[in-house]
Structure 1
Amino acid sequence: MHFSSQSTRNERLFEMATYTDEQISRYLRHIGYTKDAAKKHAAEDPLGLLTRLQILHMARVPFESLSLHYSKYRTLSLDPEDLFVKIVGKGRGGYCMEVNTFYAVVLRSLGFTLFSTGGRVRNEAGYKGWDHMVNIVTINGQRYLVDVGFGTNGATRPVPLQHGHEFFTISPAQGRLEYRSIDAHTDPNQRVWVYSVRQNKEAPWREMYSFAEFEFISGDFEVMNMHTSSTPQSFFVQSVMCMQTILDDEQQNPVGKMILHRDYVKRQIGDSSEILEKLESEPQRVEALKKYFDITLSGEEQRGIRGLASELKDRSKHA
C-alpha cells in the first residue's frame, strides 16, 4: 500500500482522481484516525485498515439528503474537490453517489485498488433502474463490496464477493450476498450480486439491492445523480433524512444508528429503538441536526426549504 501525493484537479474524472497527502491527513483526523496509524495498519493488514476506515467513516460522515432541501439551488456535485469541502470542510455527508464517490477517491489515495459500479434498489414494486452506487475493492485477489451510502440497512464492513456469504450488519441484523438472477431478468442466465438483509435470525430475508461487477465511469454516475436528485418520485427529494452509525464505548464496533427522518429523531441500538424527539417546526429540526449530528445549517441553507413540501410547518401556529 502507498499514500499518494498526487493532487486532484477539478477537471479530472473522479475514477482517476486522488487527494493530496494534506487532504488525506485532514480526512483521517476528521474520522478520528491518524495518518501514522493508517500507514502502519496498511503495511500489516490492508483488509483490517479497510474495515477500520469504513467503521470510523460511517460513524462520522452521515448518510443524508439535506442539500436537496436546505439549499438555494438544490443540486448535488460529484466533483471530488466539492465533496471534500462538503464532507471534511463542512462536516456534512450526502447520499450514496456523493459519499461513495468521495470514499472511492480516499481509498485510491491510500493505495487501494478499486472500481465503482452501479446498483438497482428494490422497493415494494420491484427493482428500479440504476440509482445506487457501490465500490468494489480488491485485496490479494479477493473482491469486496464497500458501501458507505445505503443507510439503515447497509453493511458496516467490507463484504467479500462470495456467493451465499452471510454476515452481521449491526447485530442482530444480518446481511447476505448471492450471485444469481433477479425476477426482473428476462434471460435466466443473467447474474448479478444481490444484497439482502434480515433483522434477526427468525425474520425473512429481504432483497435490498443488486449490483453489477463491471466498472461504471463518471459519466454514468452523472446521469444517475441528475435523475436521483431531481425526479419528484425520488425518496431523497421527498424526504429530509440524516443517519449515522453509533459505535460502542471503545469506538470499535457499530452497535446502532441515529436517524432523523422527516419529523422525528430515533436512536436504534441493536433491535430496540427509541423516538428521542418529535419535530414540529423547522427551527426544532435545524436544532436537532446540530444536537444529534453536529451539523450546523447557515441562514441561507435554512431559508432554502421554504415553500417545499418537505418543509416542517410550525404546528403550534395552527393549533
Structure 2
Amino acid sequence: MIAETFNLAAYCGRIGFSGELRPDFATVQALMQHQLRSVPFENLDVLAGKPISLQPDDIVKKIIGRQRGGYCYEINGLFALALTALGVGWQFVAARPMFYPARRPRTHAALVVSLAEGQWLCDLGFGSYGIRAPLRLDVLDTPVPQDDDTFMLTQEEGDFILKALVEGEWRSQYGFNLCPVEWIDFAPANWMNSTHPDAVFTQKPLIVRFTEEGRSILFGDHFTQVAGRTVSKRTVAPSELALLLVEHFGLKANECSFHPAK
C-alpha cells in the first residue's frame, strides 16, 4: 500500500505528535493513541451518498488534507502508511464482527504489526469498544486494562478473538486470523458497508472520537460522553449537530456534510 502524497511530518502534524520517530513499540503506541484522539471514526460521506475511495492518495487527501475522519479501511489504511514510512512491518487482517445477533462476513479491516518484541494487534477503526493501544498476540486469556475499558485476546477454532469487558461480561467484538490479506480484498466489504441499506453505516450518523479521559460518541441523534466512569447522554436537535461535530469531533464546519438519522 503506497501513497505518493503521504508525508510522515504532515501526518504527525495532523495527529498532534511531536516526539521522536523510531521504528519501535513506544513510537507505534504513541502514534496510535495520538491518531485515535485526533482522527474521528465517522461515516458522514456514506450518509451523504459519496463513494468511499480506497485509493491511498484519496485517503491522505481526505484525512490529512481536509482534516476528516473515516471508517476502518480509511483510518487503518492511513496508519498503515505511517507504519511503512516509519519502517515498521505490518499486515492487514480481515476480521469478522461478532457483536451482531447473526453471523457476519469478515468485513472489518485491522492491522497486525511486527516488532522486535513480537506481533501486536493495532486497530484504530473499530469505534466504541476499540482498543486504545497495541495488544500482543502471544498474551492470551489475560485481561488488559486500557483507559477505563478492559480487553482480552483469546483463541477459538483457529481465530484470535478480541473481547471487551462490557457491564461485567466478556463480549466478543471480532475474530481474525493471520491468513494473508491484500488491500484490494477489502473492496467488496467497503462497497457493502457504504451502500447496503442494512449496513449500520448507511442508516444513521456514527461518530466516535477518543480522548485522554474516555470518548465522545454520536449515534443517530444521541450524544454520549464518557469520562472515566462518568457517562453523560443526551439527545441533540438537528440545529445543534453541525456545531457538535466541530466542538467534540474536530471536524471543520465546511466539511460537515451532514444527513440526519433515518
- Give the TM-score of the pair, scaled to structure 2: 0.93
Which of 235, 238, 252 lines up with 1:296 in the alignment? Answer: 252
Q: Does 1:193 align with 2:193?
A: no
One-letter code aligned to 1:101: G
- Cα distance in 2 for partners of 1:300, 1:62 equals 13
Q: Does 1:218 pair with 2:183? A: yes
Q: Does 1:38 align with 2:20?
A: yes
Displacement of 1:297: 4.3
**What 5-or-longer segments of structure 1 have no aligned partner?**
1-13, 182-190, 248-254, 312-319
The structure whose Rg is larger is 1
Once residues 229 and 297 of structure 1 are traced to their aligned partners in structure 2, the CA distance between those partners, rounded to angstroms, is 23
Q: List aligned pairs for 1:112-261, cutoff 5 A.
A: 112-140=88-116, 142-162=118-138, 163-171=140-148, 173-181=149-157, 191-199=158-166, 203-247=168-212, 255-261=213-219
Residue 215 of structure 2 aligns to a residue in which SS? strand
**3-state SS in 2 of match to 1:101:** helix
Q: In the alignment, does 2:39 pair up with 1:61?
A: yes
SS of alignment partner, residue 67 of structure 2: coil
For 1:192 and 1:133, locate their aligned partners in 2 and report how far apart those are by CA, in whole Å.
Answer: 15
Stretches of structure 2 that go unaligned for 5 or more consecutive residues are none
Indicate the residue corresponding to 2:243 in structure 1.
Answer: 287
- CA displacement, residues 34-57 of structure 1 (integer Å, 9 cap, x when unaligned): 3xx333xx16xx101111111111
The change in CA–CA distance for 1:74 and 1:292 in structure 2 (over 3 A counts) is: same
SS at the partner of 1:68?
helix
| Deviation >4 Å, runs of 4+ | none
Is the 2:88–2:113 contact (alpha carbons within 8 Å) kept by the matching residues of 1?
yes
TM-superposed deviation, 1:270: 2.2
Query: Is 1:274 matched up with 2:235?
Result: no
- C-alpha root-mean-square deviation of aligned residues, in Å? 2.0
* Matched letter for residue 8 of structure 2: I
Query: What secondary structure sits across from 1:149 in the alignment?
Result: coil
Q: What's the TM-score, normalizing by structure 1?
A: 0.77
Answer whether contact 1:62 1:242 (CA < 8 A) is retained.
yes
User: Is 2:1 the partner of 1:23?
Assistant: no
Could you give the per-residue CA deviations for residues 51-106 of structure 1, whole angstroms, max 9, x where no partner exists?
1111111000001111112x3x4210111111111111111111111111111111
- Do the aligned partners of 2:38 and 2:250 also contact (CA within 8 Å) in 1? no
